[in-house]
Structure 1
Amino acid sequence: MVEAAILVIFPFAMVFAATSDLLSMTIQNRVPIILIVSFMVIAPLTGMAWDVYGMHFVAAVTVLAATFALFATGTMGGGDAKLMAATALWLGWNLELVQYLVTLSLFGGMLTMLILHYRGSFVARVYTERFEFMRRLAKKGEGVPYGIALGFAGLLAFPSSPLGLWVIDRLAHS
């Protein structure tokens, strides 16, 4: 049962956040809340050592502090900051967190470049009338739905995270 929860909650939250940010330019507060509460309940059920459990919270608080500074300067959205911190909680204070941060930076940069190109393209002028989210993406001065990069990077880092490895080990030995 714990394995199923781990394999469903985190990936679903990442996909939901990415899709929600693409379509509405918002990441709903319930996504990081679900990630935080579910981690708090599930991680101890895996037998995670308390010191490791605590370091997961250190990772989340550290990422939240850094992203709050970015939010305060207007360079990052609040939903992005909260999602990054909740994702860091699931990944822990380890190389997977570094992998996540590097990957989201690369994907976020590529996403930004694609959207800027889209905003100046003929395609944007022709197809933006069909869908509201495409009109929003085409507007100059609008933000970038960075949740797409956050979700994708989270999905890539998760299998090698402590909870991801725990699930893989349990499924391999059952």
Structure 2
Amino acid sequence: MVNAWQMNGEALTYALVGGLAIALIYSIYTDVRYRLIFNRITLLIALAAPAYWAATGGFNLPEIGLHLLTATIVFIFFLIAFRFGAMGGGDVKLFAALALWWHWIDVVRMVLYASILGALVTIVFVMIHKAKQQDGRARIPYGVAIALAGLWIAGERIFNHFT
């Protein structure tokens, strides 16, 4: 008989993806409201990745190495963008934390989705900025696009059984 508190890999996967979704939605809120993505949220996302690997059967040395390499490449790539003022530090850390979760192909797709969504977020926030007739340049919460792209990839795990 299975104890009600025991979780199999599938249940744990759903729980982890649900937790990721909550963290990403909270990141959207804080980025829109304060233009900040809190370090404790990105750290939580990053630290939950190994549990996700274990739940999905990807907790072996070659795959762990690939996840770490992918996240490192993503971090360095977006750190360069940060250095040139194209994005904030929280955005860089959120991208890297999410890169720990997925296979590198999914990470490439996530970056592509974030780019497209980022253009839409930029248009919306520039329009809001102009409508409010605010001075200076519009501050774009690019973390919104990153989090939405992460939700998109995570959602495919739940709603699309063909990936």
TM-score, with length taken from structure 2? 0.82
- How many residues end up aligned between the 2 structures? 150
- Which protein is richer in helix relative to its size? 1
CA distance in structure 1 between the aligned counterparts of 2:51 and 2:107, rounded to whole angstroms: 21
Name the amino acid aligned to 2:85: G
Alignment of structure 1 residues 74-153 onto 2, 5 Å: 74-94=85-105, 96-121=106-131, 124=132, 138=134, 140-153=136-149
- Cα offset for 1:45? 4.2
Quick one: structure 1 residues 157 and 45, their matched pair in 2 at CA, closer, same or farther if it must change by over 3 Å? closer
Quick one: structure 1 residues 158 and 4, their matched pair in 2 at CA, closer, same or farther if it must change by over 3 Å? closer
- Cα offset for 1:139? 5.1
The alignment status of 1:158 with 2:154, answered yes or no, reads: yes
- Which structure has more relative contact order (CA 8 Å, sep 6+)? It is 1
Residues 79-114 of structure 1 show CA distances to partners (whole Å, capped at 9, x for unaligned) of 0000001011112212x1121111110110111111
Which 4+ stretches in 1 moved above 4 angstroms? none
Alignment of structure 1 residues 16-95 onto 2, 5 Å: 16-48=26-58, 49-94=60-105
Residues 37-68 of structure 1 show CA distances to partners (whole Å, capped at 9, x for unaligned) of 11123423432133122211111101000111
CA distance in structure 1 between the aligned counterparts of 2:130 and 2:160, rounded to whole angstroms: 45
Name the amino acid aligned to 1:143: R
Quick one: structure 1 residues 37 and 114, their matched pair in 2 at CA, closer, same or farther if it must change by over 3 Å? same
- Cα offset for 1:118? 1.7
TM-score, with length taken from structure 1? 0.77
**Structure 2 spans left out of the alignment, 5+ residues:** 1-6
- On the 8 A contact 2:52/2:101 being kept in 1, the answer is no
- On the 8 A contact 1:13/1:35 being kept in 2, the answer is yes
CA distance in structure 2 between the aligned counterparts of 1:4 and 1:107, rounded to whole angstroms: 25
CA distance in structure 1 between the aligned counterparts of 2:113 and 2:89, rounded to whole angstroms: 20
